Amino acid sequence: MDDMRAIVDRVEIEGLRAEFTDAVMMRDFDRDVSLFTPEGAMHWPHIDKKFVGREEIRAGIEWGQSLWEFFVQNVHPGVVRLDGDTAVGRAYIQEFGRMRDGSSHLKYALYHDRYERTADGWKFSERVYEVGYRDSTPLPGSVPERLG
């Protein structure tokens, strides 16, 4: 039975990570913050920003997304280490986009995560975004009218 519980937990955590990326891409900030525990935290050390609690996290994600003309994030599965009702893990990120100031970014990064089982399922108690590589070569393409 423990093996089955571990499988279910891992699938639910992968779903949590996928839900977060989809909510970011769809700019659904309320859904994003619902994926965190009430006292959860999101930390972006590369820009010296940390947001604690759902209200700050929502404001931080909304602020960050407002800087982009367009943005695409792809998340690749990483490791999950379960420990009862908590877990830690990493997810690997590749993202690119163009900022409203005209600068472009291609990044390879990691999310270092802490998860907590709640009455509503697994939630993030912390996400730390670590940039491993950044390329600011201008992107030559354009945004289709429907996305702009």
pLDDT of 141: 80
Confidence (pLDDT) at 23: 96
Tell me which fold the domain 2-135 belongs to. Answer: Nuclear Transport Factor 2; Chain: A, (3.10.450)
Would you report the helix, strand and coil content of the chain in percent, each value rounded to 5? 30, 45, 20
First-to-last C-alpha distance (Å) of the chain = 50
Q: What is the pLDDT of residues 4-59, one digit of tens each?
A: 999 999 999 999 999 999 999 999 999 999 999 999 999 999 999 999 999 999 99
What letter does residue 143 receive in the DSSP assignment?
A: -
Band (pLDDT 50/70/90 cuts) for residue 2 is confident
Segments making up each domain of the chain, as ranges:
2-135
Confidence of residue 145 (pLDDT cuts 50, 70, 90): confident
On the question of pLDDT at 90 being above 80, the answer is yes
